[in-house]
Chain A
Amino acid sequence: MARELLRVTDLATHYTGFGGSRVVKAVDGVSFSLEEGQTIGVVGESGCGKTTLCLSLVRLLAPGAEIVDGSIELGGRDIMKLSDKQMVEVRGKEIAMILQDPMTSLNPVINIETQVGEPARKHRGLSGGRLRERVRDLLDSVRIPSPEVRMEEFPHQMSGGMRQRIAGAIALSGEPRIIIADEPTTSLDVTIQAQYLDLLRKLQKETGVGLIFVTHDLGIVAKMCDDVIVMYAGKTVEKGSVRDIFSKPHHPYTDALIRSVPKLGSKDPLYRIDGQPPDLSSLPVGCSFAPRCPIADEYCSGHEPPLLEVSPRRFTACWKAEEYALREVQP
């Protein structure tokens, strides 16, 4: 069994506003663990709390947001108990992040060498010629052509795909054990996206880094991830291996998500979930998905379903999961 890198238990992150009168439960009781070399996908629509979850893991929440419950254990120690100074040692060295938009996540006035070298210098104590060599190797590993020349340049001289690969090189620079990638390929062309995803997988194989992929794109989950967490309104609605869940989702929301994505070469009408995701500051009582759910009944809208292990390593939060799992699935 591979070594466990990260264990998140019952994490709850809430945003409080208007003197405490308005509480947005962006993340509300999420648990998972990540092993060496494993890739976990976190999927959900805008506002389901997936980005807040990422920011909680590195404790980079905006003012007003607070982790109100749960624990985040990194290699056995609870990072909630670390001081801000100790957290600086965690970010980049143990957990690194790749952000969504490579156009804004790089500093426009600092050259590539300094930006890529910073984590290696700070966390791994490299300097001078060895640091330069490390930066060159990193750029080489993310397939930046002629790294010697490119490292002297600035972000505006690169294309979008190159900038995203540089963001990847920065994440790898401090030799972290975990990389969190928040929608890292949304702004890229399909061919560049495919290259980038293949590259991440190759680097993972070489370094054994654990990956957390946050995305709204189920295709990325299908391609990249071992396990998946499906979030709706701040909660985990379904969790398990990607293969199991794509083959037969037990939660109506997961099922709807999968069936509402057009499939290449298919003209079948898309499944449509009516309505909108709920407002996180005034969630419905009971199951948050009940107002949009095709099989919800009165009980669902009055009682919140717990996340239960319906089969080994497979969790679903739905009162009707058992019944739903028995439905006939068209091939």
Chain B
Amino acid sequence: MTSPTFEKTNKTLVVTDLVKHFPGGRSALNFGATKQWVRAVDGVSFDIAPGETLGLVGESGCGKSTIAKLILRLEEPTAGSILFEGQEITDLKGAQLNNYRRSVQAVFQDPYSSLSPRMRVHDIIAEGLRIHTDYSKSDVTTRVNDVLALAGLRPDVGRLYPHEFSGGQRQRIAIAKALVLDTKMLVLDEAVSALDVSIRAQIITLLKDLQQELGIAYLYIGHDLATVGHLADRVMVMYLGRVLELDDSVDLVKNPRHPYTQALFAAALPSHPEDIRETGEQPNAEVPTALAPPTGCHFHPRCPDAMETCSVDFPQEVTLSGGRRISCHLYPSGSEV
């Protein structure tokens, strides 16, 4: 089953074969040695429709934050294409790039460091309007008050400074700031993980309500599987720069097929003492470094189902019936229905 928005063909974002390699090798002493590359993102493709949320999960170092930075054009891709509403954005410059930035905004994890402590809330939110529009002072105030209301804050908080707010309210300010222009897509990088349980539920509900009201596309990056599964329509699982599995979030949680996805879900904490799963089959080793990823399928050294071929070739991605994308030798090409 797919969400209704997924069936539309006019996607907000289409990412194809995206690659980002960083120069690596920590030793400052090996001048002249062959340059090593960290393959942070290594051929990733996905799309997001208007009003849809794509969840992105994976362990530290899997490249999820690099993808966020590439989409926000805070990093330049090594190769690949990012189409935003049909327009290639990887080579935008100057005024066109500015224009793109009106439409795509981000909300980060830590609302204590993402808001300038020296600016009043009104000025923080109005900054985008000052840069991108020629609104009059009263228009700016009207718009700022509108988005404050959208984010569930009273208009009179505009004169206060960020330190006068709690974590949850700060995150509301960050959301208001992200919505002040004609935002079409939000990149939410762990946007609720730093918040307390009760406050987290408030912000998750706010994000869902806003999406319904404004039809914005979300890319939600997180490590908490339950939260990602709750917010996202589809979930993409990444490991060391590559996509291993992608499907509708309910289907994926119910029936994870890739051994890595299965391991991730088995490691998730139970919501009741009675549904404790045995986590005995946890992959024991730690995540290898992206500087020297294992040959073949990057997951094979930790994989309980690894076969001989897994250490040699990276598995071709196949699309199974129902639209699940998976890269695993257990599902060889030709097994698609």
Contacts and interface: CB of A to CB of B under 8 A. Distances in A.
Contacts of B271: 218-219, 222, 258, 261, 263-264
A32 to B, nearest CB: 18
Interface stretch (A105-113, A184-192, A205-213): A184-192
Nearest to A198: B279
A130 interface: no
Interface in B163-220: 166-168, 196-202, 204-205, 208
A306 interface: no
Given A220-B269, A270-B204, A273-B201, A263 B286 contact: no
B263 A189 contact: no
A31 B111 CA distance: 35
Contact of A194 (B223, B253, B267): B267
Interface string B272-307: 111010011011101100000000000000000000
A127 interface: no
Given A191-B264, A216-B197, A243 B226 contact: no
Interface in A204-262: 216-220, 222-223, 242-243, 246-247, 256-258, 260-262
A279 to B, nearest CB: 10
B126 to A, nearest CB: 26
B98 to A, nearest CB: 36
Candidate in A222, A257, A277 with the most chain B CB atoms within 10 angstroms? A222
Interface residues of A, number: 45
A162 interface: yes
A46 interface: yes
B282 A223 contact: no
Candidate in B168, B223, B270, B283 with the most chain A CB atoms within 10 angstroms? B270
Candidate in A143, A160, A220, A273 with the most chain B CB atoms within 10 angstroms? A273
Given A194-B282, A264-B253, A217 B269 contact: yes
Interface string B234-268: 00000000000000001001100000000111111
Contacts, number: 129
Interface in A76-105: none
B60 interface: yes
A45 B265 CA distance: 25
B230 A266 contact: yes
Contacts of B5: none
B168 A276 contact: yes
Contact of A189 (B59, B202, B208, B230): B59
A193 B208 CA distance: 28
B67 interface: no
Contacts of A265: 229, 250, 253-254
A270 B59 contact: no
Sort chain B's interface into a size bin: 35 or more
Given A45-B198, A257-B198, A272 B205 contact: yes
B269 to A, nearest CB: 3
Q: Is the interface of B mostly helix, strand, loop or mixed?
A: helix
Contacts of B254: 265
A272 B196 contact: no
Nearest to A226: B273
B197 A198 contact: no
Candidate in B200, B263, B273 with the most chain A CB atoms within 10 angstroms? B273
Contact of A45 (B196, B204, B263): B196
Given A198-B279, A220-B269, A257-B198, A190 B166 contact: no
A69 to B, nearest CB: 28
B68 interface: no
B107 interface: no
A113 B284 CA distance: 23
Given A190-B223, A265-B254, A273 B274 contact: no
A217 B268 CA distance: 12
B311 interface: no
A281 interface: no
A162 B279 contact: no
B150 to A, nearest CB: 17
B279 A194 contact: yes
B266 A257 contact: no
B330 to A, nearest CB: 19
Contact of A243 (B202, B274, B284): B274
Interface of A: 45-46, 143, 159-162, 189-195, 198, 216-220, 222-223, 242-243, 246-247, 256-258, 260-267, 269-274, 276-277
29 contacts: A45-B197, A46-B196, A162-B286, A189-B59, A191-B59, A191-B267, A191-B282, A198-B279, A198-B280, A222-B269, A223-B269, A223-B270, A223-B276, A247-B272, A260-B200, A260-B201, A262-B204, A262-B226, A262-B227, A262-B231, A264-B226, A265-B229, A265-B250, A267-B250, A269-B205, A270-B204, A272-B201, A273-B202, A276-B168
